[in-house]
Homo-oligomer: A and B are copies of this chain.
Amino acid sequence: MGRTVGEVAALGAVSVRTLHHYDAIGLLSPSERSPAGYRFYGDADLERLQQVLFFRELGFGLAEIGRIMSDATFDRLEALLLQRRMLEEKARQLGHMIDAVDDAVDAMEKGEVMDDKDMFEVFGEFDPKQYEQEARERWGSTDAYKESVERAKKYTKDDWKQVKDDQERVSLAFADAMGRGLPADSREAMDLAEEHRLQIDRRFYPCSHQMHVGLGTMYVADPRFARHYDDFRPGLAQYVCDAIRANAKRAG
């Protein structure tokens, strides 16, 4: 038996009304309902709520959050990493704002008038839209993509296991190529990158070379991704990223 709306609200992050609202819009529905209509939220529901709240904190609209999280390829770990990056960016912006306050104080004390642009450039600096774009690229939004969503919805447990195994096989092959000293722009490494791209392209969504390069960059930039690959072999994340870049360059 899960938690009632009151119990979830008592955790301090959302109100009962908010939970009703999220249920009504399909963003977060309880996994159980009593015959009397009571909502009961389980552990997975709370995990989903936390994810929603991170996105909300970062300025995403609820519809957009729902769209992102409803995606079949939505991966909680990847989302957390994206969110982490956004939070860091936002914290950086706050630092800039503190600097801006200090600049304003300085100008006051000197009896100076600040330049118009300098006064306001710090506002709006953090723009979730940029990240929405990235999330969209990562989890897609085109009609062709939506088609692949439908396709992925039909995947069985075995299908998903196959996906996972394929991904692991490619990762191991990358580690092997690297271990044999093959340059990231060697034919073999680039073929692996191409295979990697095609897996995504066939299994999930259209993955252009450009998008692939973006993913490669993310693998290096996000510490947890980097660790994922580097656990196969130290430096592998960078190697994969380089191979992806070389592959994209090969494709023109």
Chain A residues engaging chain B, CB cutoff 8 angstroms = 3, 11-14, 43, 46-47, 49-50, 53-54, 57, 76-77, 80-81, 83-84, 87-88, 90-91, 94-95, 97-98, 101-102, 104-105, 108, 113-114, 116-117, 119-121, 123-124, 224
Contact at B80–A88, with CB atoms within 8 Å?
A: no
> What is the CA–CA distance of A132 and B47 in the complex, to the nearest angstrom?
32
> What is the CA–CA distance of A13 and B123 in the complex, to the nearest angstrom?
5
Nearest Cβ in chain B — how far from A184, in angstroms? 28
- Please give me the 7 A-B residue pairs with the lowest Cβ-Cβ distance, nearest first: A13-B123, A13-B120, A91-B94, A11-B120, A84-B101, A50-B119, A87-B98
> What is the CA–CA distance of A12 and B12 in the complex, to the nearest angstrom?
35
Nearest Cβ in chain B — how far from A129, in angstroms? 14
* 11 extra interface residue pairs, beta carbon distance < 8 Å, beyond A50-B104, A83-B101, A87-B97: A11-B116, A13-B120, A47-B119, A49-B120, A54-B101, A81-B105, A84-B98, A84-B102, A87-B98, A88-B98, A91-B98
Name the one of B43, B46, B91, B123 contacting A91, with C-beta atoms under 8 angstroms: B91
Contact at A57–B123, with CB atoms within 8 Å?
A: yes
A101 with B76, Cβ < 8 A, contacts A13-B123, A123-B13 known: no
A94 with B90, Cβ < 8 A, contacts A12-B121, A123-B13 known: yes
Q: Give the residue among A54, A88, A94, A113 with the most B Cβ atoms within 10 A.
A: A94
Nearest Cβ in chain B — how far from A10, in angstroms? 9
Main secondary structure of the interface of A (DSSP, over half): helix
> What is the CA–CA distance of A43 and B104 in the complex, to the nearest angstrom?
13
Write out the residue numbers on chain B whose beta carbons fall within 8 Å of the beta carbon of A43. Answer: 113
Contact at A77–B108, with CB atoms within 8 Å?
A: yes
> What is the CA–CA distance of A105 and B12 in the complex, to the nearest angstrom?
22
A12 with B123, Cβ < 8 A, contacts A76-B108, A90-B94, A91-B94 known: yes
Q: Closest residue to A76 on the B side, CB-wise?
A: B108
A57 with B97, Cβ < 8 A, contacts A120-B12, A123-B13 known: yes
